Structure 1
Amino acid sequence: MALIYMRKAKTSDIDAMMEIIDEAKALLKADGSTQWQDGHPDRALLLDDIEHGFARVLIVDGEVAGTATLMTAPDPNYAKIEGSWSDTTDPYGTIHRIAISSKFRGLKLSKFFFSNLISDTYSQEIYHMRIDTHEMNKRMQHLVKEFGFKYTGIIYVSDAIDGKRLAYELSMVK
């Protein structure tokens, strides 16, 4: 059994994080998705996530196996939605930029990572979560539904190719 855990990312993790993001970009492209094909997320964005304490890494036997951003500040992209959020008053956490290294794909680590991100949010006394994904990203849609996220509508993000995203929300019991 491997030692698997999640922690806040450090600046020293950036090269491994970028390698994972670049692999994920290639996988999305192979799936026919335009998500992440306009150059982001890039190194500067991930370093900003680290600086703000939002970046997380999944560690497997001492190696960075996954990267994600757990944003606990309001996301400006979520201010407008074609549809509606079920909760518009309480604070929420947002999962962004989640990816697993190709070296570790197929081990169901995305489920482990998601569970840890949800637990981390809950431990911060934040009981609502949001996430968005491209309509072509069937893997992510399956994962968010498996964790009980409910589809809430369409939001738009800054993306040079296609900014339309499917938005999902999860409410946890306090």
Structure 2
Amino acid sequence: MPIRLATTADLPAISAIYAFARTQMAKDNNPTQWGKSHPPLDLLKADITAKHLYVIEEAGNIGGVFAFILGEDPTYQQIDGAWLNDQPYGTIHRIAGNGKIKGTFSKALAFCEQLEPNIRIDTHQNNKRMQHLLEKNGFTYCGIILTEEQAPRLAYQK
């Protein structure tokens, strides 16, 4: 399954994937992490411009999307807990699949590890699906960080 940088032409497919993910989150008792409109279109466009947004393709269709950002994440500077190390890292954000392809997270993680093996990620306390995927894929729970909106998130590192 090829992974490539997203383009603005991909935005309709990307938006549909995020809409599906928000619906799934609500069904999984996690309706507030992304609400009804996260991530906003302007953030996705900024991710594309910065070359942070990637898509996972299967048979010519986009089945998954994620942001991978190398360098320090401002929201990770303070943690109620401790990171595994202080080495350079990449952060996975806004990962979602269309529900039709299996292993979206594992595929994205394998791709990201080729670019930077030291990876951090965070998730909402109600996102049990993501917590399971993180533990299954070798991440270690490190503590609580606060988003830009001061919302607490569970922080993990691999």
Q: Is the 8 A contact 2:17 2:96 kept in 1?
A: yes
- What is the aligned-residue RMSD (CA, Å)? 1.5
Equivalent residue number for residue 69 of structure 2: 71
Aligned partners of 1:158, 1:142: CA distance in 2, in Å? 25
Q: Is the 8 A contact 1:18 1:42 kept in 2?
A: no
Q: Is the 8 A contact 1:11 1:47 kept in 2?
A: yes
Where do residues 11-26 of structure 1 align in structure 2 (5 Å cutoff)?
11-26=8-23
Write out per-residue CA displacement over residues 78-109 of structure 1, whole angstroms, 9 at most, x where no aligned residue.
01100011212x2110000000013x15x233
- 1:117 to partner: Cα distance: 2.4
1:166 aligned onto 2:154: yes
Write out per-residue CA displacement over residues 30-51 of structure 1, whole angstroms, 9 at most, x where no aligned residue.
2111210163211110111111
- 1:58 to partner: Cα distance: 0.2
Equivalent residue number for residue 24 of structure 2: 27
Equivalent residue number for residue 51 of structure 1: 49
Of 107, 114, 121, 1:112 maps to 107
Normalized against structure 1, the TM-score is what? 0.84
Equivalent residue number for residue 153 of structure 1: 143
Give the total of aligned pairs.
157
Normalized against structure 2, the TM-score is what? 0.92
Q: Is the 8 A contact 1:71 1:95 kept in 2?
A: yes
Q: Is the 8 A contact 2:70 2:89 kept in 1?
A: yes
Of 34, 37, 48, 1:36 maps to 34
Q: Residue type of the partner of 1:157? A: T
Aligned partners of 2:147, 2:36: CA distance in 1, in Å? 12
Displaced runs of 4+ in structure 1, greater than 4 A? none
Q: Is the 8 A contact 1:81 1:155 kept in 2?
A: yes
Q: Is the 8 A contact 2:96 2:104 kept in 1?
A: no
SS of aligned partner of 1:96: strand
- 1:73 to partner: Cα distance: 2.6
Structure 1: runs of 5 or more not aligned: none
Percent sequence identity over aligned pairs: 36
Structure 2: runs of 5 or more not aligned: none
